[in-house]
A and B are shown apart, each in its own frame.
Chain A
Amino acid sequence: MFSLLGGIFLGWSLGANDASNVFGTAVASKMLKFRTAALLASVFVILGALISGQAGIDTLSGLTRIDLEQAIISSVAAGLAVTFMTLLRLPVSTSQAVVGGIVGIGIINKQVNLGGLGKVMICWIGTPIGAMVLALFLYRLLGLIYNRLNLNMFKSDIVLRLCLIITGSYGAYALGANNVANVTAVFVGAGLLNVFSAAMIGGASIALGILTFSRPVMETVGEKLVKLDPFSALVVVLSLSVTMHIYTLVGVPVSSSQAVVGGVLGVGIVKGVNTVKAKTLLHILLGWLFTPVVSCLLALAIYFAVHLQYIPSG
């Protein structure tokens, strides 16, 4: 159990940070109480992890052969990379950090599943682009339906609020299904957990992060989406959720934060406005490039530090 602590910590921080992408809009704008949002997010994250989390766990645990000590090292490296990038104020993806850590261990073992790694990297590129394209399509389609309904002020209000709750819950499901692999897949690879218990523990630790520490993040990070009108925010959350669900079916953990940025960009293109500043995009690109590299280097450094031996001379 003690050896799982690194993974649980990673899950906790993932829950605390990424829940804001799905429920931040609703909570920051007071459309939904934090308690209700946290409860819904926690339940759906666990459901997502249990029902659809297996594919991602299989992909990550198949990236390299790993033993328990290496599993812990890759977890710690990912956790430190996330912390380091956060301190540098660069947007960070837990999924990329975890894969970076695993690849670091793979390099030590001289055994990296390049096919699997290629698939993961293509999905990373595809996440923001996919979310952007989806947001473009969904904005047009849902906009057509919304205009046809010709709802009055109150009905429109109720419909938007209900849709945000439903898509938020769906987003939490997709988040749990997609990101649970980041938390416990290495322990499946090391033979410490089976897939079901990995999904259960991973889902529960993400839910713990949501329940205990997501409030400030939801209230502050959510504000970046609140600047969008409610309909656009709904489209962004829906495109994020569908994107993450698709990558869950493919079996690759991706970043919900990158999917959000893609969605916001998509909405901006439809509306003909700049929703994301060039500086933010540059930061995202830097984070995208550096997170897996830093995590990989940290895994290598920790491994070497752990195996340093004092050899007395003479």
Chain B
Amino acid sequence: MLKYLFKKESQVETLLYEYLEAFKMTQENFVNALNSCLLNGYLCKNFDFHIRQTHKYESKADDIREEINNLMYGKALIPESRGDVMELLEAIDSIPHIFEQTLYMIQLQKIITPEFMIDDLRELVRISLECCDLMLQQVVALLEKQTDIRSLMRKIDTNESHCDHYERKIKTKIFNSDIDPFERLQLKELVEEIGHISDKADRVSKLINIFSLKRRV
């Protein structure tokens, strides 16, 4: 009965879960692409395939977001929640975009990771993606039970600080190395782009915390 009366809300809820699924797939393909090329030497096996897959799921996430926005303009949910859902999606959606941009950067600029930074870069990617996983858990918590949101936010915040630390560490190594100055700038840009992942996840996490607090009287 309630599902029939609040059909649009139910649709939005289903679409949000589909969006999260598309996000996970984008993330998975991003990791596969990095592993196939950047982090495992210069083999670049299946790199293009993984880029295409990343792009496919990023576009799918965009389409779902568009569909959710259309439902919002069709007056699903109360105005306050409408604004919150749209702001949340906009914030999350910047992350798959970074995944895609990072891969395009590697592909287009033919970036090769020097040996001295591979371990740190791997760690940076691992912690950044952990931030994304925690962020997804936080979104589910907001949609389902509203518990653990603060503790997840604290974890993401800590991880984000670690990412900043690794980002600085790698950049120092890059500029202390004797590689070509142009390559240094390329690598710096790449590290900064990857570093943005945890920044954005942290921003989403703080937004979710605010949305959760807004729903307390």
Contact = CB atoms under 8 A, between A and B. Distances in A.
Interface of A: 29-31, 139, 142-143, 146-147, 150-154, 156-158, 160-161, 226, 229-231
A31 B143 CA distance: 20
Interface hub of B75, B211, B215 (most chain A Cβ within 10 A) = B215
Interface in B135-156: 142-147
Contact of A29 (B78, B145, B214, B215): B78
A153 B147 contact: no
A146 B217 CA distance: 7
B143 A30 contact: no
B215 to A, nearest CB: 5
A156 B13 CA distance: 13
Contacts of A147: 216-217
Contact of B9 (A146, A158, A230, A231): A158
A29 B80 CA distance: 9
Contacts of A160: 78
B215 A153 contact: yes
B79 A154 contact: no
Report, nearest first, the 7 A-B pairs whose CB atoms are least far apart. A143-B217, A30-B75, A29-B79, A157-B81, A146-B217, A157-B77, A154-B13
Contacts of A157: 9, 77-78, 81
B79 A150 contact: no
Interface in B1-53: 2, 6, 9, 12-13
A30 B79 contact: yes
Contacts of B63: none
B145 A31 contact: no
Interface hub of B6, B13, B217 (most chain A Cβ within 10 A) = B217
Interface string B43-82: 0000000000000000000000000000000010111110
B84 interface: yes
Given A154-B9, A154-B13, A156-B215, A230 B80 contact: yes
A153 B142 contact: yes
A30 B75 CA distance: 7
A156 B146 CA distance: 11
B78 A151 contact: no
17 contacts: A29-B78, A30-B79, A31-B78, A139-B217, A143-B217, A146-B217, A147-B216, A147-B217, A150-B147, A152-B145, A152-B146, A153-B142, A153-B211, A156-B215, A157-B81, A229-B214, A231-B217
B213 to A, nearest CB: 11
Contacts of B85: 153
Contacts of A146: 217
Nearest to A150: B146
B140 to A, nearest CB: 10
Interface size class on chain B is: 20 to 34
Interface of B: 2, 6, 9, 12-13, 75, 77-81, 84-85, 142-147, 211, 214-217
B81 A153 contact: yes
A291 to B, nearest CB: 34
A153 B104 CA distance: 36
A31 B78 CA distance: 6
Contacts of B217: 139, 142-143, 146-147, 231
Nearest to B74: A30
Nearest to A149: B146
Given A151-B215, A154-B9, A157-B81, 17 more contacts: A29-B79, A30-B79, A31-B79, A146-B217, A147-B216, A147-B217, A150-B146, A151-B146, A153-B143, A154-B143, A156-B81, A157-B77, A160-B78, A161-B6, A161-B78, A226-B79, A230-B80
A143 B13 CA distance: 25
Contacts of B142: 152-153
Contacts of A161: 6, 78
Nearest to B88: A153
B84 A153 contact: yes
A231 B80 CA distance: 11
B204 to A, nearest CB: 15
Contacts of A154: 9, 12-13, 77, 81, 143
B76 to A, nearest CB: 9
Nearest to A232: B217
A114 to B, nearest CB: 45
